[in-house]
Structure 1
């Protein structure tokens, strides 16, 4: 069933739930999306319970929600390795040569860690999905199966692995959890060395191009995906979270603005074949520029997009 989204043309109504309060942006499948004044970012109401999230991510995520994710990640590995190379190069530019210990929270199939290991980094992943954790271990990676919360430090088997790190990486994690600032504070206080780096990647939602598509081309807000996506960030709001946890943002960069394809008439929303085709076009752009030695040009392009709040995802690197 397609999501049923309601958008009012009247002034936004205020909504309150527990300690959360803010104007309502959308309603979808029994959830309301508010721009929360307390949190400093948009999120759904009600917020799912810990038990509901554990069921989703331990058992269902890679079998029900994203059944093709692992297979497609392997298919796209040449492109993903290009993405990973840019990221590790940035870490290595910002850190001294002897600091090469990284924790990937929500490590998924493990290819980001595998690339880092091959580059000479000491790696560890935390991953709630049993399927993804098993796939990572088959590649020889160290993985803690579970969630990053305070209980993980109380387990002798995992506590010994969780010494301080030089980089903590979270790709597409903060949108899934009920307390993003709490997780970032945990990382700041217990996991990162002084001067260490936090790298956060989140979807860039309610961005200007999405607004144009909804207002002028009658698109519904296709990026809404509760209960899997609880939170909806932009560059400014994710940086607010990062600062609230004590970090100092150093660098922001966008990923390719996939909404451009919609503006050109390539409607990939709910259409997987079109989605794969335009994703292939984005991959070709980046791979061809890399082959031409124009990586710096690509990086400058994505930094320029980030400065205008554009791009499908927000990447922010911050220091402890």
Structure 2
């Protein structure tokens, strides 16, 4: 499969099965893209990392961040308060701010200067750095390392996971990775139903395309034990119900608001446990829009 420009093809990783674009852009080109273009108006059509987008749905995102806090504490057997946390590719720092509000000692780095300046303005420790190295803070090791919608952007995701295990994470720490769940069955069926191109294939922004299964393969193959996995709401169901939201920002926003209402109403009714059971089941069959994995260093 090729991207829309015909410049790249998508091929399976020989060892772990996730999909990658070929040829891989150079590290310099990737760093330049994120420093100069990723948060620009040009990419807002497909990029939900803009500050105004993140702030508009803060309650929804904070509920998800609290889920992450709860899961970290359950798996680690201790409170997040007092633990050191590194957010790789921290963007505008909303996750860092939330984790810091729970007592974590937060550090982050990102290649975009405007994002780094914003995070620093909020009193958080953040440096501007590309994704070529993970030991941005020298020999310091962290109790928790998060990569939230980052791994899909990296030229060498396997090397990054290995470096985090060997140089960045404490021996008893947790790695938390969230990625889009691309090429899932609902997504592909919706694409075919509406005669759409594979809109999610978007180099040089997205270089890797994971499912829950292939992300687990990559984690286990780089020396981690997968402790927990969940997916998120399978928003591509709307395509299969006739809502052709791709390329229609107004309809896309309406579908997103319906999925937010679904989650927030279940939480309000005291049924968050059912929500998580649903999302765990989706991850087991590689469905859902996103997938999040929690992993520790294999003993």
Settle same-fold status: TM greater than 0.5.
Answer: yes
> What residue number does 1:166 align with?
143
Q: Name the structure 2 match of 1:137.
A: 120
Structure 2 CA distance for aligned equivalents of residues 151 and 300 of structure 1: 33
- Counterpart-to-counterpart distance in 2, 1:98 and 1:92: 5
Partner residue of 1:147 out of 116, 130, 137: 130
**CA distance in 2 between partners of 1:27 and 1:291 (Å):** 42
CA distance in structure 1 between the partners assigned to 2:236 and 2:134 by the alignment: 40
Q: Aligned-pair distance for 1:96? A: 3.3
How many angstroms does 1:289 deviate by?
1.4
Q: Which residue of 1 aligns with 2:4?
A: 28
Distance of 2:243 and 2:58 partners within structure 1: 24
Conservation of the 8 A alpha-carbon contact between 2:109 and 2:128? yes
Q: Distance in 1 between matches of 2:255 and 2:193?
A: 22
* Cα distance between partner residues in 2 of 1:219 and 1:148: 32
> For residues 112 and 217 of structure 1, what CA distance do their matches in structure 2 show?
35
Q: Offset of 1:144 from its aligned partner?
A: 1.7
Shift of 1:27: 4.2
Q: What residue number does 1:123 align with? A: 106
Aligned to 2:77: 96
Contact preservation (8 Å) 1:168, 1:199:
yes
Please tell me whether Structure 1 or Structure 2 has the larger radius of gyration of its CA atoms: 1
The answer for the alignment partner of 2:94 in structure 1 is 111
Contact 2:231–2:283 (CA under 8 A) maintained in structure 1: yes
Give 1:55-66 correspondences, 5 Å limit: 55-63=32-40, 64-66=42-44
Deviations 1:152-198 (A, max 9, x none): 55xxxx42xx6111111101111111100100011001111112111
Q: CA RMSD in A?
A: 1.8
| Equivalent residue number for residue 203 of structure 1 | 180
CA distance in 1, matches of 2:31, 2:89: 13
* 1:123 match: secondary structure: strand
The correspondence of residues 227-242 of structure 1 with structure 2, limited to 5 A, is: 227-242=204-219
1:255/1:313 contact within 8 Å kept: yes
Contact kept in structure 1, 2:135 and 2:168, CA below 8 Å: no
Unaligned runs of 5+ in 1: 1-24
Q: Is the contact between residue 193 and residue 240 of structure 2 (CA under 8 Å) also seen in structure 1?
A: no
Q: Higher relative CO (CA 8 A, sep ≥ 6), structure 1 or 2? A: 2
Alpha-carbon separation, structure 2, partners of 1:37 and 1:172 = 23
TM-score scaled by structure 1? 0.86
Q: Match of 1:194, SS?
A: strand
Matched pairs, number: 290
Which whole-Å deviations, capped at 9, do the CAs of 1:21-58 have from their partners, x for residues lacking one?
xxxx3443121111232553211111101111111111
d(CA) in 2 for partners of 1:317, 1:81: 18
1:127 touches 1:133 (CA, 8 Å); kept in 2? yes
Q: How does 1:1-320 map to 2 (within 5 A)?
A: 25-29=1-5, 30-38=7-15, 40-63=17-40, 64-66=42-44, 69-97=50-78, 100-150=83-133, 152-153=135-136, 158-159=137-138, 163-320=140-297
**Range 286-295 or range 102-111, more displaced:** 286-295
TM-score, with structure 2 as normaliser: 0.92
CA displacement at 1:215 relative to structure 2: 3.9
Instruction: Verify the 8 A CA contact 1:26 1:34 in the aligned structure 2.
Output: no
Between the aligned partners of 1:98 and 1:267, the Cα distance in structure 2 is 43
Where structure 2 has 5 or more consecutive residues not aligned to the other structure, the ranges are: none
